[in-house]
């Protein structure tokens, strides 16, 4: 099954995105901060990590760097309410950037474009 880790501190957005992804057949684990996200990743790898830029305990770029270092095959999507260039995050860390509010159709199209079944994480 295609596994997604969704990290956002907005519980409404997180729950809505999780519902959309689960309805589309993804196995979704969700976290509201970096600490919880790291704990979830320690238990099971994800094919895709969708991470907010600003989180209560740090920046999404920190998690992206750790994920990228552990397994370069994992797709990482930055989800931000800011203009992407204004975040200052290195764009090479992310395979895609989605601006909030996230369009559900765009999210699903983006994930479908990732060939995540070809290179599953360990």
| Number of C-beta neighbours around residue 30 at 10 A | 19
Q: What mean pLDDT do residues 3-14 have?
A: 96
Flag whether 84 is in a domain: yes
Q: What is the model's pLDDT at position 1?
A: 78
Give the CATH number for residue 74.
3.40.50.2300
Judge whether residue 118 has pLDDT over 60: no
- Mean per-residue pLDDT, 107-115: 91
Q: Model pTM?
A: 0.90
The average pLDDT across 22-33 equals 97
In a domain, residue 122? The reply is no
pLDDT over 90 (residue 40): yes
What angle is formed at CA 61 by the lines to CA 5 and CA 47, rounded to 5 degrees?
Answer: 30
pLDDT, tens digit, 9 for 90 and up, residues 41-73: 999 999 999 999 999 999 999 999 999 999 999
| CA–CA dist 75, 88 (Å, integer) | 20
The DSSP symbol for 92 reads G
Predicted confidence at residue 64, as pLDDT, reads: 95
Q: Is the pLDDT of residue 78 over 60?
A: yes
| Structure confidence at residue 86 (pLDDT) | 52
Residue 117 lies in a domain: no
Q: List the domain range (segments joined by +) for residue 74.
A: 3-111
Q: Is residue 56 part of a domain?
A: yes
**How many structural domains does the chain have?**
1
The answer to which of 10-14, 29-33, 37-41, 91-95 has the lowest mean pLDDT is 91-95
Mean pLDDT calculated for residue range 85-113: 83
């Amino acid at each position: 099954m295609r596994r997604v880790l969704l990290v956002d501190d907005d519980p409404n957005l997180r729950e809505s995105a999780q519902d959309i992804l689960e309805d589309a057949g993804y196995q979704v684990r969700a976290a509201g901060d970096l600490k919880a996200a790291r704990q979830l990743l320690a238990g099971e790898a994800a094919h895709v990590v969708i991470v907010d830029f600003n989180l209560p305990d740090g920046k999404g770029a920190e998690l992206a760097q750790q994920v990228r270092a552990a397994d370069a095959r994992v797709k990482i999507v930055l989800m931000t309410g800011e203009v992407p260039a204004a975040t200052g995050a290195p764009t090479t860390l992310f395979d895609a950037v989605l601006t909030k509010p996230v369009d559900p159709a765009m999210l699903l199209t983006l994930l479908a474009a990732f060939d995540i079944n070809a290179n599953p994480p360990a």
